[in-house]
Amino acid sequence: MNKYDVVIAGGGAVGAACAYFLSRDTDLKIALVDLKKSGNASRASAGGLWAIGESVGLGCGVIFFKTLSKLHSEAKGEEVPTMRPHQLPDCFFEFALKSNDMYPDLYEELRTKHDVDFKFERTGLKFIMYNREDELYADQIVSGIPHLSDQIRWLDAEQLKSEEPYVTPDAIGAIDFICDHQVNPYRLVEAYTEAARQNGVELFLNTEIQSVLKEGNRVVGLKTASGDLHCDTLVNATGAWANELYKQATGKDMPVYPVKGQIVLSERMPKIMNGCISTSDCYIAQKDNGEILIGSSTEEKGFDTTNSLDKIQELSRGAMKCLPILNESNIKRCWAGLRPGTPDELPILGKVSGVEGYLNACGHFRTGILTSAITGKLITELVTEQPTSIDLTPFNVSRFDNDPT
Amino acid sequence: MKKSNPVVIVGGGPSGTAAAAMLGKYQIPSIIIDETSKIGGVIYRGPLRNTATLPHLDDNLQRAMSALRTRYEKHKSFIELKLQTRVLGPEGDQHLLLSEGGGLTTLEHNELILATGCHERSVPFPGWQLPGVMLLGGVQLQIKSGLVKPGSKMALLGTGPLLPLVACQLHKAGVDVVGVYEASAFNKLAKEAVALLHKPKLTLNGLSMMSYLKKHQILFHYGYGIVSAQGDKYLEQVSVAPYDDQWRPDRSQAKPLDVDAIGVGYGFVARTQLAMLLGIEHDYSKVSGYIPKLDDNYQSSQKNTYVVGDSSGLLGADAAICEGQIAALNIVHQRGLLDSATMEKERRKIERKHARIKRFRFGFDRFSARQTGLLDLPQDDTVVCRCEQATKKQLTDAIAEGVKDLTTLKMRTRIGMGDCQGKTCSSYALDLLHQAGHDKNTGVIKPRFPLDPIPFTFMEETLNEQV
């Protein structure tokens, strides 16, 4: 019989990180089960480690929450309601920043000990301002996070031009989050996975999960296409599909649902960007092989992963406005991924009361790449019954207990 | 449904044109979309410039080309041609996004026939990226459509009936053909004699090609194949060696041939990118790669979407014509312009012809069945995905590390992430995974929108819907 201490369901960034940290820090017998599904968010991701950017609603969140400049242009002279940047709660800042801090060492460790390279690049994330409204918005962002002022640089038009010469001369300046960087997202997943394998984790790749095995209120394993995998602890890291497994494990529903994001990719270009960029229209990142990645839409359309011209046009126009040189390039590929969304945009982590042998590691919405590292560490701490590096109360699924949705 | 809605046909080759002609016969309008400037498909398109004589092209080909033209001419009042137009993918419900005339348009479809043909199966070996190394169909296209000589001193290597055909065409075009190397042994062909008798005329054609080669002292070697290609900047030499029944070369008997170009032809792959992007279900077949699941009328898992010709499985042009006609007949029937009895009668006639072609073709498929020896031609450092420069070793290492499917292999090695979207490398990668025993849910390099790169500047235009 296949008996493990821990079975991890889902081999995206979060599941693979759990496998890596558990195998690095314990002697437990671990299995990772994964099936590549269409829309898998880790593969679709841009790979931004935008700890501050994402926490204040830029980067991947920028389209979700319209900036002042957008509201003004859409209002066409009408009164614009006062609004604040969409800032996530302090517990999320702590979660994101702690994870972000882990990357430099993690990068070295995976490279030197396991010979895998996830292309960590120190880029910063610049919010480009085109007009007075953008500047007001940037002001609000900065005043909302006084404790992080040392991580923010203001760039005037001249400075921006010297640092990012390909950005449109129409830009009036930028704020730069200096601790926000980027990785290659699928290389990160493959790096965690390969390092975990080298550490002895058994990989059940391309293996379908059929059901959760239970005995009373205890989860005892997974039934898979490769047979039953018994375990003491099951970690649910199945991304946008997490509720399916949760339901089988607990008999209840939790609010994790797919939030579609479309991405546009250019052909390879010479290096035209020194850092990652967010504007009020989109985010833009030049990846390690020269391709320019432009994202992303925010749509609730179930598990649909088709591309649509309206969103691709929106993103492309936003990127061409910022980087006119894109007029000389082609769109090579587009795709769509499914972020595992939750109503409060916080992940769902840890134990479920009344159910033994089960841990949630899901609901990472738009920051699964960034927060995979801390999640792997936290899950390891939970499995080994150590105190956790951060307080997990705000992330427990019980926060939805009285929520009718 | 209004009867006047045109049927949209993607691909103006033998099957697409035959479908349009059959629809025209029943006065149903259709639109043929083709990426080139002429209908006929790769096989029957002919020269892309006007020319009076084509002495290097044989009479059979010229007859087939004019037959296709005649079918089109007879019904052309019902057929609208959209040439030099590329389908970039589906756009919303029941629409295709097209790139034509320097911009984007959409085209609505009720009934859709995909007749997108096939592309060549690329087989990597050391030196395969040298200028002068070409795939066999590409060589043929240069003589047939480009009207240029692909080389002056050439060898052909591969398997199947295209080898002698192209050898004859090259010789007639004035190329010095130094040898033709068929991977399978002659006795394997002899075993298929019964199958080949299903199309006696084609078999005779084959025999006459063989005697043409003999007469002109072009040696045809059975049980031989490519080992590697060498050259400084261009191809200068290839090594060929005897193949065993698994197509493993006996390198100890490898001999060099001085050439400036070669044609390599180990088969074709159904061109299914659009069908996949439309979400049509596919199955894997060893001969054709992934092919759509179809009913007897060539209708796919999506209602009113048909897939015909080589894109539904490789059977060649004659079978493709039959398939286009059957799909069209079904549409005629669905539109209430043909009663069941008549349609069945018509269909059975075409099906009988199709079945004969199939039996003949299956004989050659068995003879040319791809053997695992080909997988070991590349060395560790041989690039197998040329867009992303992924080497064979990167692939075999990833598989040794537990990768069991194409998607994970892509994430690990970047194979298939380049401009060609895996058309060149994915067949080889799939064969490698299958050889390692991973034949369940092995997956595909998923085609991505847009199927061809589009300029960013197109994104600034507003879209015109065509009526």
Q: Tell me which residue of A283, A279, A298, A277 sits closest to A133, measured CA to CA.
A: A279
In whole numbers, what is the pLDDT of chain B averaged over residues? 94
pLDDT of residue B1: 43
CB distance B429 to B416 below 8 Å: yes
- In the stretch 205-224 of chain A, residues with CB closer than 8 A to chain B read 205-206, 208
Tokens linked to B316: 């060649």
- The tens digit of pLDDT for each residue in A2-53 reads 899 999 999 999 999 999 999 999 999 999 999 988 889 998 999 999 999 9
Report the b/e string of B356-380 with b at 16+ CB within 10 A.
Answer: bbbebbebbbebbebbebbbebbee
User: Fold for domain B379-435?
Assistant: Arc Repressor Mutant, subunit A (1.10.10)
Determine which of A203, A204, A205 to mutate to test the interface with B (most B C-beta atoms within 10 Å): A205
Q: Is A355 left (phi over 0), alpha (psi -120 to 50) or beta?
A: beta
Residue B89 in contact with partner chain A when CB distance is under 8 A: yes
Burial of B93 (0-12, 13-18, 19+ CB in 10 A): exposed
pLDDT of residue A81: 63
CA distances from residue B434 to A84, A391, B120 in whole angstroms, order as listed: 55, 47, 20
Tokens linked to B189: 């062909």
Question: CB pairs below 8 Å between A and B: how many?
Answer: 87
Contact B405 A312 (CB under 8 A): no
Tokens linked to A5: 């201490």
Three-state secondary structure call for residue B261: strand
Q: Tell me which residue of A308, A366, A374, A304 sits closest to A341, measured CA to CA.
A: A366
pLDDT at A283 over 70: yes
Numbers of helices and strands, H then E, in chain A? 11, 18
Q: Which residues contact B211 (CB under 8 A, 6 or more apart)?
A: none
Which residue from B411, B448, B457 is facing A189, i.e. has the nearest CB? B411
Least confident of A92-101, B139-148, B193-202: B193-202
User: With pLDDT > 90 as the criterion, what percentage of chain A qualifies?
Assistant: 85
Which residue from A35, A316, A335 is facing B459, i.e. has the nearest CB? A316
**pLDDT category of residue B467 using cuts at 50, 70 and 90:** very low
Q: Tell me which residue of B120, B131, B199 sits closest to B166, measured CA to CA.
A: B120
CB distance A237 to A249 below 8 Å: no
- The tens digit of pLDDT for each residue in B255-290 reads 999 999 999 999 999 999 999 999 999 999 999 999
**Residue B106, amino acid:** T
CA R_g for chain B: 22
User: Fold for domain B7-119+269-338?
Assistant: FAD/NAD(P)-binding domain (3.50.50)
Angle formed by the axes of helices B426-435 and B392-400, nearest 10° = 40
pLDDT at A148 over 60: yes
pLDDT of residue B54: 75
Find chain A residues with C-beta within 8 A of B105's C-beta.
none
The alpha carbon of residue B87 is apart from the nearest alpha carbon of chain A, in Å, by 14
pLDDT of residue B272: 96
In whole angstroms, what is the distance from residue B177 CA to residue B156 CA? 8
Find chain B residues with C-beta within 8 A of A330's C-beta.
453-456
Number of residues written out for chain B: 467
**Residue A404, amino acid:** P
Find chain B residues with C-beta within 8 A of A38's C-beta.
446
Determine which of B302, B446, B459 to mutate to test the interface with A (most A C-beta atoms within 10 Å): B459
CATH class of the structural domain B122-266: alpha beta
**Residue A174, amino acid:** A
In whole angstroms, what is the distance from residue A116 CA to residue A186 CA? 12
Q: What does the pLDDT average to over B81-100?
A: 95
B7-119+269-338 shares its CATH topology with B122-266: yes
pLDDT of residue B2: 46
pLDDT at A149 over 60: yes
Which residue from B405, B421, B457 is facing A327, i.e. has the nearest CB? B457
CA R_g for chain A: 21
Structural domain spans, chain B: 7-119+269-338, 122-266, 379-435
Determine which of A284, A331, A335, A369 to mutate to test the interface with B (most B C-beta atoms within 10 Å): A331
* Terminal Cα-to-Cα distance of chain A (whole angstroms): 40
- In the stretch 80-139 of chain A, residues with CB closer than 8 A to chain B read none
Alpha helices in A30-89 (DSSP H): 41-44, 51-55, 68-75
- In the stretch 46-75 of chain B, residues with CB closer than 8 A to chain A read none
Which residue from A189, A205, A317 is facing B459, i.e. has the nearest CB? A317
Q: Which DSSP helix (H) or strand (E) runs through A137?
A: helix A132-144
Task: Please give the full DSSP string across A263-325, using - where no structure is assigned.
Answer: EEEEEE-S---SSEEE-SS-EEEE-TTSEEEEE---B-BTB-----HHHHHHHHHHHHHH-GG
Tokens linked to A347: 């992940």
Three-state secondary structure call for residue B149: coil
User: With pLDDT > 70 as the criterion, what percentage of chain B qualifies?
Assistant: 98
**pLDDT category of residue B461 using cuts at 50, 70 and 90:** confident
**pLDDT category of residue A342 using cuts at 50, 70 and 90:** very high
CB atoms within 10 A of CB A170: 12
pLDDT of residue B466: 58
Find chain B residues with C-beta within 8 A of A31's C-beta.
none
